[in-house]
Structure 1
C-alpha cells in the first residue's frame, strides 16, 4: 500500500498463477470423473469428493489457525456452498450420465456468460468491450468443441436441463462467493463453503457407503483425487484469484478448460482430437487471452481491473 506503482505491477501475477492452477486442475477433473462416475452415482460421487476436500481443507485451516470466518462472510459462504459445492456437483454428475460430453460442455459453458451478467447486475462490475469480445470468441470455441465431441442421439431433455441447472448454480455460487471474500480469506471461504456443500449432500451417505464396497480401487482413488486437487486446491486458488479480480474476468478464464480437456484426453487417454476440436480449443484460448488483455494507452491501464475490483470487494487488491 505504500508503493502503489509496485503493487500495480506485481499484484496481477499471483492471481493469474492461481487462476492457471485452477483451470488446469478443473480440466483434469473431467478425466477423473469418467472413471469415478462409472462406479458411483451422482450424489455419492459429489459427497465423497466434498468429504475428501473437507478433510484436507480442515487440516490446513487448523494448521494455519485461521479459525471461523467473520459473520459478514457467512451469507456468501452459505449460498455458494449450497449452490456451487452442492447442487452444481450433483447436477453436473447426473447430467453427464444423461448426455454426451459435447452437449454437456456446450450447456455448462453458458456459466461464464451468466457470471458476467450477474456480476454486472448484483456486484456493479463493469463489462469492458474486451471482456465481452473475448467471451464471445471463447463461447464460440466451446460450442465448436461440443459439436465436435457430441455423439449421435446422445442428448436427452432431462440431461440438458440438469446441465443448465448446473450452469445456473455455478454462476450464482460464484457471484455469491465474491462479496464473502471481502471479509474472509480464500481458505476460510473455500473450507466452510465445502463443508456446507458436504452437509447438503449428506442424504447420499447411504449410497456412498454401499457403492464404496463394490467400486474398484481406481474409481475410489479418482474420487479422492477429485476432492483433494480439483476441489480443495483448485477452489482455494480460485477464491484467491477471485478476491483480486472481477467475477466476470474469472468466469471468462474458465473457458480455457475445454481446450485443456482436449489436450489431456489426447495425452492421457490417447483420444486424438479432430481438426474441428482443435480449432474450437484454439478459439477458447484466444478468447481467454482477449478477455484478460487490457489497453496500453496509459500507465494506469494495467491496474484498472484491480481498482475496479477494489471498489466491488470493499478492500484494496493484493
Structure 2
C-alpha cells in the first residue's frame, strides 16, 4: 500500500503531461473506478455499502472530495516528490488536531513531533530558490482534509473498514457532481490520460486500500501506519531512477525530519494504547 501511494503524484503528473484531463476530471474518475471495485468487495463480504450518518457525509467531503481534488490541483504547481513528501505529513496534522480538540492529552512528545515535522515541511518547500509555494500550500491543505477524514473516522470504530470507506466514497461523489455543475467542467478525458487515470483508480486507491486494511488486520494500525513512510521514498526513487525530477539534499533532509516527527507522535500514541490495555 505504501509503495502504491508513493506513485500517485507521479501518475498525476503524467496524466497532466498527456494534456487531456483536469484535476476535477481525474478525481471524479478516480473514485468512480475505486468505488466500483471497493463497492464490489464490500458487497461480496455482505457488509453495508452506505451509512446514513453525518460523520460519514463529512468524511466523504473531507477525504474524497477535498483531499483528492485540491491535491491533484496542487500537483500542477509543484514537483511530484514535494507532493508526495508533503501529503504524507498528514499524521502530524492528525496529532495536532486531536490535541487541539482535546481528544488526546498534549505531551512534549506530541509537540516535539509536530515541530520536527513542520521543520521538515519548511525544509522541503521553503529553502530552495525554485520554491513552488502555491502547489506546496495546496498539497498541505489537501493533507489537512485527509487528517480531518482520519479524525472523523475515529467516531465510527464500531463499523467495518470496508463499510466506512465505501460509504464515505459514495457520499463524496455528490460533491463532485455539484462541482461539475458549478464549473461546467464536463469530463472529456481522452488518449493516454485514460491509462494513468485507470492506474490511479485501481492501484493506489482501490488496491492500496484493500492491502492496507489487510495489513491492519494482521499487524494492527500502529505498525501498519509505519509503511506510509514508504510513499515519499518511492516517489524519490522513481523520480531519480527515471530522470523525471532532480532530487535535492533539502528534500531528503525534509523527508527525514517529517518521518522523525511522525514516529515521535506515533510512539506517544502507541504508549497511550498500551496504558489503556493495562487498565
- The yes-or-no answer on 1:171 pairing with 2:147 is yes
Which one of 127, 130, 147 corresponds to residue 152 of structure 1? 130
Which one of 79, 91, 106 corresponds to residue 112 of structure 1? 91
Which one of 41, 53, 59 corresponds to residue 22 of structure 2? 41
Which one of 119, 141, 146 corresponds to residue 120 of structure 2? 141
Q: How far apart are residue 282 of structure 1 and its match?
A: 3.0
The structure showing larger relative contact order (alpha-carbon pairs under 8 Å, at least 6 residues apart) is: 2
For the residue of structure 1 that corresponds to 2:25, the secondary structure is: helix
Distance in 2 of aligned mates of 1:94 and 1:48? 15
Contact 1:82 1:197 in 2 (8 A): yes
Contact 1:190 1:236 in 2 (8 A): no
TM-score, scaled to structure 2: 0.77
Map 1:123-138 → 2, pairs under 5 A: 124-138=103-117
Distance in 2 of aligned mates of 1:96 and 1:102? 10
Number of residue equivalences: 270
Distance in 1 of aligned mates of 2:173 and 2:83? 24
Could you say which residue in structure 2 is the equivalent of 1:260? 234
Q: How far apart are residue 270 of structure 1 and its match?
A: 5.3
Could you say which residue in structure 2 is the equivalent of 1:194? 169
Could you say which residue in structure 2 is the equivalent of 1:91? 70
1:264-298 Cα offsets, whole Å, 9 max, x none, are 3123445452333333333333444444446xxxx
Contact 1:114 1:171 in 2 (8 A): yes
Provide structure 1 residue ranges, at least 5 long, that are not aligned to the other structure: 1-20, 295-301, 311-318
Provide structure 2 residue ranges, at least 5 long, that are not aligned to the other structure: none
